[in-house]
Amino acid sequence: MYVLVGGGGHARSVIEAAGDTMFGGYVAPGESAEPPGVPYLGTDGQLLSGEIDSKAAVHITVGIDHGCHLDIRRKVIDQFAAFPAVTVIAGHAVVSRHSHVGEGSAVMNGAIVNRATVGRHCVINTGAIVEHDCRLGDNVFVAPGAILCGEVTVGDNAFIGAGAVIRNGVSICAGASVAMGSVVIRNITKPGLYAGNPARYVPVSYTHLTLPTNREV
């Protein structure tokens, strides 16, 4: 059985992309107030213990937290590392035959991946464009409408905000977050938040993150 891990807004978007019959249900710390359209199966712990389905394959739908970084999502991915990962390519996405999309990733409706390499557990969200010869690491989240021009490299656990534009040939390091609408014209070599046109480092103090009781963030 294919199971969604998470029951929030991104889970609903994944169901729209994958179709109503691909996933048998979802797990979360509690039943979602706005269910994603498939049955609630139980908690993460019940799936991890094999109580729900010892042969389940999973797709992680936990999104970004409020600091526009991916610590919580990465922790959930690590928890389910022993499970087979389900890849979702939406029916209205365009993925070239020369592209590689890693296990557990999602390419949403209207997105374009053109002769690029996308790592494991990435999200190429609605209407985003990943152009030729781009290389994305694992757990990279490209938000709706973002544009990665040719030969962009993005490290693991990086976030590219909605409508951001990354100039061709730019490298973005692991753990960096690019704010929505920003324009990146130079390499980013230090993790943290970058915003503006051109994008500049924004000092932000993040508090230590733990897994919340309800992950609908």
Q: Identify the burial level of 24 via C-beta atoms within 10 angstroms of its C-beta, where 0-12 means exposed, 13-18 middle and 19 or more buried.
A: middle
Please name which of 88, 138, 133 lies closest in space to residue 111, comparing C-alpha atoms. 88
166-186 as b/e, with b when 16 or more CB fall inside 10 Å? Answer: bbeebbbbebbbbbebbbbee
Architecture of the domain whose range is 88-195? 3 Solenoid (2.160)
| 3-state SS class at 155 | coil
Running DSSP on this structure, what letter comes out for residue 68?
A: S
Identify the residue whose tokens are 């949403």.
Answer: 108
* Residues carrying an active site annotation: 132
* Residues forming beta bridges with residue 159, ordered by sequence position: 141, 177
Identify the residue whose tokens are 């389910």.
Answer: 80
Q: Where do the domains of the chain lie?
A: 2-62, 88-195
Please name which of 128, 110, 8 lies closest in space to residue 65, comparing C-alpha atoms. 8
Which of the residues in the chain have pLDDT under 50?
Answer: 207-217
Indicate the pTM of the whole model: 0.91
Predicted pLDDT at 204 = 77
Distance from first CA to last CA of the chain, Å, rounded?
25
- Between CA 26 and CA 4, with CA 14 as vertex, the angle to 5 degrees is 20
Predicted pLDDT at 207 = 43
In whole angstroms, how large is the CA radius of gyration of the chain?
Answer: 17
* Residues forming beta bridges with residue 130, ordered by sequence position: 113, 148
* Distance separating alpha carbons of residues 26 and 178, to the nearest angstrom: 30
* Residues forming beta bridges with residue 3, ordered by sequence position: 25, 58
